[in-house]
Amino acid sequence: MLKEGIYLGDRYEIVGKVGTGGMADVYKAKDHTLGRFVGIKVLKQEFSEDVNFVTKFRTEAQSAAGLEHPNIVNIYDVGSENSVHYIVMEYVEGITLKTYIEKKGQLSFKEAVSIAIQVGRGIEAAHNKHIIHRDIKPQNIIISTEGKVKVTDFGIARAASTNTISSDVMGSVHYASPEQARNGFVDGKSDIYSLGIVMYEMVTGRVPFDGDSTVAVAIQHLQEEMVVPSAYAPDLPVSIEKIILKCTQKSPDRRYNSMTDLLMDLKKALISPDEDFVVMVPLGQQDKTRVMRPDEVESIKEQTRNIYYKNEEETEEEDEEDEEEDDGFLNPKMEKAVTIMGIVAAVIIVAIIVYIGGSVLGFFKFSDKDDKKKPEENQTQTEQEEKSEKVEMINVKGSTFDEAKNALNTIGIGIERGGEESSDTYPAGQIIAQSVEEGTMVDKNTTVKVTISSGAGEFDVPDTKGRSKSEAESILESAGLVPVFEYELSDTVPNDQVISQSPEAGTKAKKGDTVTVILSQGRETFPMPDVRNKPEGDARAELKDMGIDVVSTSSDYSDDIPEGNVISQSITPGKTVEKGTQVTLVISLGKKITTKYYSLNGYAIDLPDIIPSNSISVEAKIYLYKSEGEDLINSWTATSFPYTINQGNIENCSEGYFRIEWTWKYLDEDESEVTESDETTIEGVSFTQN
């Protein structure tokens, strides 16, 4: 298993594991060259060590890389590094069609046809390049979050099917065509059959053939007729049903000739679903079991070589041997055995007819001793023979009680219910045990007691909280449970991690039960509000109401934004953010005023004319004001004159004025001291700029 942070090809950084299959594990990775996310499928170790398989895997993947279509998960790259063999493909966010069907149960015919058309378009593009998928199933069909349907695993199925690997690696046999089930010649019509099975499952919610083993299901594909889909979907339009039935004919000759022909009928079905326009190919000589002529075998081998086995001489020889043995609905060995058994059965039947006829006509005589037996004795002997007649017990496990009753009564055996028990193998209602085992010879009229399954046994539901989606899916499926995923917003749980599950961990459940898993979509997102030119208090309140934190503020001057209002914000208005986002605001200080400094140097204040010359003392309180605004700059008290004024650091004022309060004393005629006062103003005093 690759760990997060590992690089492949010095280019692809592993982000996390998103799924696993029989052959490979799938990872989400970041392509640092093109700056995009990709999916990387890495072969499991047991296949990586098989040189022949790896060679075919690379060849087929490179061939599939030539496919470019909106309904195909495109392959970008193929590589190997330190015994790790991988393919790089388009990353599609979504769910498989299998999960979608399990979640919805049954799809409407319009939705099913729409999905089938998109899948068919992808397969058609592959067939046009002589590439057969060979493993079409809902697990290999992805529905993206935008509703686009894409087919994946082109090339992988081909590589797998040309090597000796187990059926569980190849995926479900439920969708395999009859020719695949018998290892026969496979062409594009095999993909048409598989798509027909997928359509059947979409509209009914189930597969047409099922069983306890892959062999049992494969035999059903070969020999049994499917229940028509309308039996499970009564409202299914006739055109859809006939399309499905035509796709899933056991003989390839009776299916659609090409995916293009199938797409034409599917499109017509969307427009006229109730019109019976599908033309079914009538049964003919081609549908009977027969041995293929050498020229037909050679023709098939030639087609196979031209399409799939170029430059693979060794593989061609192996496949030719398989085709010679297996072509036809029954291979030649099986046909020979059937023919011999038919001859033997015919001989036996003729012998019985001759014997019965001869006995009636008296041709066959027995000893007098036998003839002289009393009628009563002969009758008793016959009854005893009938009573003592033995039959071989059959296997009724997996059957319902009624099915078993019919089968047993046919061979003269009775049946009795023997209670119920839980079973992880047999669904509820099926027989899990019988008192007489298969193959045992028993007397006719013997009664067999059977045990009925009450369904799977109960166990504790595992805990998936805090796990990633892929981990939760793996845990639940390993326990035999069916996960269904839903999403909710969360301020505390990271994106794509499990918030909760229902039923909860520890609750009792049975295999096959559904567990609803709630995954986090992360925090709620919304556009960043615009708080510019709003008072700081109002801006803070608005952001707080939306769950956005103002972590800090700064201030600056602005000629346009009033003092105290927001000049700017650290996150652009309209940008998508989530709750808990932090933002910084810049608050206006108002207009910036540039301070100019002025000085008044050596300005002399002298006595005014109002002061008499016989004054014995004079005092002046001098006040200097700005002409603009009448602000006091400074004040002085003077007693000797002229009095020199020096004043610096006068801010933003080039002119001022003096207001002087004079007080003086003098002696009158009586030599008495007299005090008087007055006020003068000196206007237009100019200051010098520093």
Return the active site residues: 135
Distance CA 523, CA 398 (A): 50
- Asked if omega into 642 is within 30° of 0 (cis), the reply is yes
3-state SS of 575-623 is CEEECCCEEEEEEECCCCCCCCEEEEEEEEECCCCCCCCCCCEEEEEEE
Q: Is the CA virtual torsion 257, 260, 263, 268 positive or negative?
A: negative
Distance CA 653, CA 630 (A): 11
**Tokens at residue 262, please?**
């199938």
Question: Which residues lie closer than 8 Å to 283 by C-beta, 6 or more apart?
Answer: 254
What DSSP string runs through 21-45?
A: -SSEEEEEEEETTTTEEEEEEEE-H
Nearest to 136 by CA among 124, 121, 160, 119: 119
DSSP β-ladder status, 84-90 and 441-443: unpaired
Distance CA 9, CA 80 (A): 8
Which residue carries 């006229």 as its tokens?
Answer: 272
How many residues in the chain? 690
Q: Give me the amino acid identity at 573.
A: P
Start-to-end C-alpha separation, the chain: 79
Question: Count of alpha carbons within 13 Å of 211, Cβ hemisphere only?
Answer: 14
- Cβ proximity of 454 and 420 under 8 Å: yes
Question: Which residues lie closer than 8 Å to 66 by C-beta, 6 or more apart?
Answer: 129
- Using CA atoms, how far residue 589 sits from 20, 83, 543, 585, 592, in Å, is 61, 66, 21, 13, 8
Q: Give me the amino acid identity at 612.
A: P
DSSP β-ladder status, 84-90 and 36-43: antiparallel
Helix intervals (H) in 248-374: 259-271, 294-307, 313-326, 332-361, 368-371
**Tokens at residue 2, please?**
């690759």
Which residue carries 């346009």 as its tokens?
Answer: 560
- Cβ proximity of 620 and 660 under 8 Å: yes
**Tokens at residue 688, please?**
């010098």
Question: Which residues lie closer than 8 Å to 634 by C-beta, 6 or more apart?
Answer: 623, 624, 647
Distance CA 206, CA 197 (A): 10
